[in-house]
Structure 1
Amino acid sequence: MNQRDVRSWCRVAHLTTVHHPFDPRIFHKQLASLRDAGFDAHLVAPHERTERVHGIPIHGLPRPQNRAHRLALQPRVFRTARALNAALYHIHDPELLPLAGLLKTRTGAQVVYDMHENYRSKGAMLGRFLRALERWAFRWVDHVLIAEQSYRAIVEDHAVPHTYIPNYVRPIGEEHPPPPVEIREPPTRLLYTGTLSDSRGLGTMIDLAARIRRADRPETITLVGICRYPTQRARTEKQIRRGGLGAVVDRVGWDAYVRPSAMPPHYRRADVGLALCEPHPNHVGSIPTKFYEYLHYGLPLICSDIPLWRRFVERHGCGAVVPPGDPAAVLDVLDEWQAHPERYRRCAENAREAASQYRWGPIGERFARLCRHVLPDNMPETLTTESR
């Protein structure tokens, strides 16, 4: 068997039209783990050009503006994916499942589906449709990855093989924990990372900033992430201008995606990690990835009092929970930590200690083993030797 045949047998193509090409779960965790394990890993995703980044070929697609544009891209996605002649296609969007079924029929390849979103957040009708689409595809999908334990009931009803691949932390360029830093007292630098929206606590954080400004308190809030909703961006910008909050709120990204490689300096400068989300269906059954990232940098959490989140914080003793939408309660926590700095210090130490449980390394190895297992039985042995 020649080297070209070996590559085709160990080729895995990840397909998405929804996610950013450098999405942490897709690019920096899953694809990087496959590359490191010797697979010929490719990505087909919206990107301005076709190029190789960190040894991973990205096959660029036009950047769609809405769902209709994404659906119109599917013929091009199919042609690009078909030309790769991969042994395994890894699908990240439910709307690509019919396309994946066609790829499976035409090529005989295996199909893995990655379930990492609760589609109830899309509205009742669309959410039901997407879940129905998934259930239809479970009849022929070879394996399902679930990012949250709460998704297990969805797949167990259909007896589809599935594996839990949580979104644990793999900081870019920092494979090992950062060195311990001197814990600053009192904690005043608050940080939020991730997509910004009202359901993710944007309004609550702006109200918090206004209270800080009116009371002439020392705290600042750094918001690192993109807000994809122009109406919410415009309203927030107006609030910041009218309230004179520019000295309190620092926005990084805001109307543009922030690459994971740009995140570490913001974590290192912070004292506290915020997650003041509303009790939305897409939040109540999931542990936010930002929790793991905050812990990695030794940041105590202040998060909404959602039962799953409360259990996480109490189990690790790494922060405090507050009622959703209650900025005054956040200030109460900060006042307590400032009055009793040993409590803040204990939360920071506990956060750093808990972080070791939530690192991507072992999960990446599990993911690579799974892909090896899913690949056809007649895969050549050279995958584990000369092709690495």
Structure 2
Amino acid sequence: MEREQDQHSSARVVHITTVHQPFDPRIFYKQLASLRDAGFDTHLIAPHDRTEQVQGISIHALPQPTARWRRIAFHPTAFRMAQALNADLYQVHDPELLPVAFLLREATGARIVYDMHENYRAKGPIWGRALRTLERWAFRWVDHVLIAEASYRSIVEDGPVSSTYIPNYFRPIGDARLGAPAKAGHTPTRLLYTGTLSASRGLRTMVELAARIRRAGRPETIDLVGICRYEKQRAWAKARVQEEDLNSILSRVGWDTYVLPSTMPPYYRRADVGLALFEPHPNHRDSIPTKFYEYLHYGLPLICSDVPRWRRFVKQHECGAVVPPGEPEAVLDVLDTWQASPEQYRKYAENARAAASQYRWASVGQRLVDRYRSLLGDGAPERHEGT
């Protein structure tokens, strides 16, 4: 099983997920791509339809489960795949994989990194508490924790583990050319939402927004670009679209199929406004949605739910407006204001583009590479690096 490696070969790193798609932007296009570019031998074990190499990253396919308990059933397979790769470092992206990581540590002696994407404590009193307990157990033995949000520091700072802040900033995927800046007098009519769709992420609000647009004979259209994994929610939305005759207003791209990030840029370029009309779920309060950074890159003013942290972000950059969660009429009020004052809309679009440079992946990717080199070299990592 021992892998031949001379002094000039690169360190092998293996990322493992049973939850995320193989082309998840953070995992594949940001973290693994940065490590590949830095010369690491990069591998990903993830649910996929085939084992292949894509853009220099080796993908090792797990079956694609349809439920959480079935994901857990594939953990032994993930362990065997990972052990056979005999990596220098393993990184897991899901808390439920931490026991697999522990076994890999015992079996191989490799370094172990845990990437904390989400505050799982907010998933409810039973499952959320179980995941948090699992994380706290792992903090006693993992070599390092990456945190996607600065607010997650409070979760790890009292433990013995070191951490690095790796925010989910924007990295161009596919043809990320910018669209033309908003012209004087231009009024926004093309609304866009990208990413996973669900009721907690504003699906109901956006469908009801489309219904109000249709009834009032307004000019706006809405593109929903992403997957909705909940069959009941898809059925509800489909029924509302048919009932209200919304097909000319509401476009659904992906819907029951994962949308590759590389296919999304055309939707950004033709949009006028980026939407994030989330419900006030606890897991949304302490994080900035990745879509904010994407909207800024393409010069799209935001209309988002009035979550305190989001409100501060929008106010800081003067790049949009906040509305009460679950109130589509408030979205129409904002659009009425921008259509009556196109210069205000244009100012927000310009501010969005100007702010985008603060949220690029390049510096963060280098931080990740430096941390990997430290973990695999002689240097000991500093605690809680990054701001």
Give TM class, smaller chain.
Answer: over 0.9
What secondary structure does 1:199 align onto? helix
| Deviation, structure 1 residue 65 | 1.6
One-letter identity of the residue aligned with 2:270: R
Change over 3 Å in CA distance of 1:7–1:277 after alignment to 2: farther
**1:15 maps to 2:8:** no
Change over 3 Å in CA distance of 1:3–1:78 after alignment to 2: closer
Partner Cα distance (2:312, 2:7) in 1: 47
Q: How does 1:90-129 map to 2 (within 5 A)?
A: 90-129=91-130
- Which residue of the partner structure matches residue 313 of structure 1? 314
- Which residue of the partner structure matches residue 53 of structure 1? 54
Partner Cα distance (1:48, 1:7) in 2: 33
One-letter identity of the residue aligned with 1:110: R
Paired residues of 1:9 and 1:87 also in contact (CA < 8 A): no
- Which residue of the partner structure matches residue 174 of structure 2? 173
**1:255 maps to 2:252:** no
Partner Cα distance (1:360, 1:191) in 2: 23
Partner Cα distance (1:265, 1:223) in 2: 13
| Deviation, structure 1 residue 64 | 1.3
One-letter identity of the residue aligned with 1:362: S
| Deviation, structure 1 residue 179 | 5.9
For residues 111-139 of structure 1, the C-alpha deviation after alignment (integer angstroms, 9 at most, x for no partner) is: 00000112134321000000000000100
Partner Cα distance (2:209, 2:317) in 1: 26
Paired residues of 1:7 and 1:40 also in contact (CA < 8 A): no
For residues 136-189 of structure 1, the C-alpha deviation after alignment (integer angstroms, 9 at most, x for no partner) is: 0100000000000111100001131000000001121357x6264344711000
Indicate the larger mover: 166-175 or 56-65.
166-175
Partner Cα distance (2:7, 2:284) in 1: 42
- Which residue of the partner structure matches residue 356 of structure 1? 357
- Which residue of the partner structure matches residue 295 of structure 1? 296
Structure 1: state its 5+ residue gaps. 379-388
One-letter identity of the residue aligned with 2:193: Y
Partner Cα distance (2:18, 2:8) in 1: 25
What secondary structure does 1:111 align onto? strand
What secondary structure does 1:124 align onto? coil
Partner Cα distance (1:7, 1:253) in 2: 44
One-letter identity of the residue aligned with 1:363: V
Paired residues of 1:323 and 1:329 also in contact (CA < 8 A): yes
Change over 3 Å in CA distance of 1:225–1:121 after alignment to 2: farther
| Deviation, structure 1 residue 68 | 1.6
For residues 277-313 of structure 1, the C-alpha deviation after alignment (integer angstroms, 9 at most, x for no partner) is: 0110110110000000000000000000000000000
Change over 3 Å in CA distance of 1:78–1:7 after alignment to 2: farther
What secondary structure does 1:330 align onto? helix
Indicate the larger mover: 106-115 or 178-187.
178-187
- Which residue of the partner structure matches residue 243 of structure 2? 242
What secondary structure does 2:13 align onto? strand
Paired residues of 1:112 and 1:142 also in contact (CA < 8 A): yes
Partner Cα distance (1:130, 1:376) in 2: 31
What secondary structure does 2:295 align onto? helix
What secondary structure does 1:112 align onto? strand
Partner Cα distance (1:79, 1:348) in 2: 50
One-letter identity of the residue aligned with 1:70: R
Change over 3 Å in CA distance of 1:182–1:218 after alignment to 2: same
Paired residues of 2:323 and 2:331 also in contact (CA < 8 A): yes
Partner Cα distance (2:81, 2:96) in 1: 17
| Deviation, structure 1 residue 75 | 1.1
Change over 3 Å in CA distance of 1:6–1:199 after alignment to 2: farther
- Which residue of the partner structure matches residue 384 of structure 1? none
Partner Cα distance (1:6, 1:93) in 2: 32
Q: How does 1:1-388 map to 2 (within 5 A)?
A: 4-6=5-7, 10-174=11-175, 178=178, 180-183=180-183, 185-377=186-378
| Deviation, structure 1 residue 196 | 0.5
Paired residues of 1:8 and 1:86 also in contact (CA < 8 A): no
Paired residues of 1:303 and 1:322 also in contact (CA < 8 A): yes
Indicate the larger mover: 321-330 or 368-377.
368-377
| Deviation, structure 1 residue 105 | 1.0
Partner Cα distance (1:7, 1:210) in 2: 62
Partner Cα distance (1:121, 1:220) in 2: 33
Paired residues of 1:225 and 1:257 also in contact (CA < 8 A): yes
TM-score of the superposed pair, with normalisation by structure 1? 0.94
Change over 3 Å in CA distance of 1:6–1:232 after alignment to 2: farther
Runs of at least 4 residues off by over 6 Å: none
For residues 307-356 of structure 1, the C-alpha deviation after alignment (integer angstroms, 9 at most, x for no partner) is: 00000000000000000111111001000001111100000000000000
| Deviation, structure 1 residue 4 | 2.8
Q: CA RMSD in A?
A: 1.5
Partner Cα distance (2:207, 2:289) in 1: 20
One-letter identity of the residue aligned with 1:315: Q
Paired residues of 1:110 and 1:142 also in contact (CA < 8 A): yes
Structure 2: state its 5+ residue gaps. 380-387
Partner Cα distance (1:160, 1:203) in 2: 41
Change over 3 Å in CA distance of 1:7–1:276 after alignment to 2: farther
Change over 3 Å in CA distance of 1:6–1:45 after alignment to 2: farther
Partner Cα distance (1:141, 1:5) in 2: 27
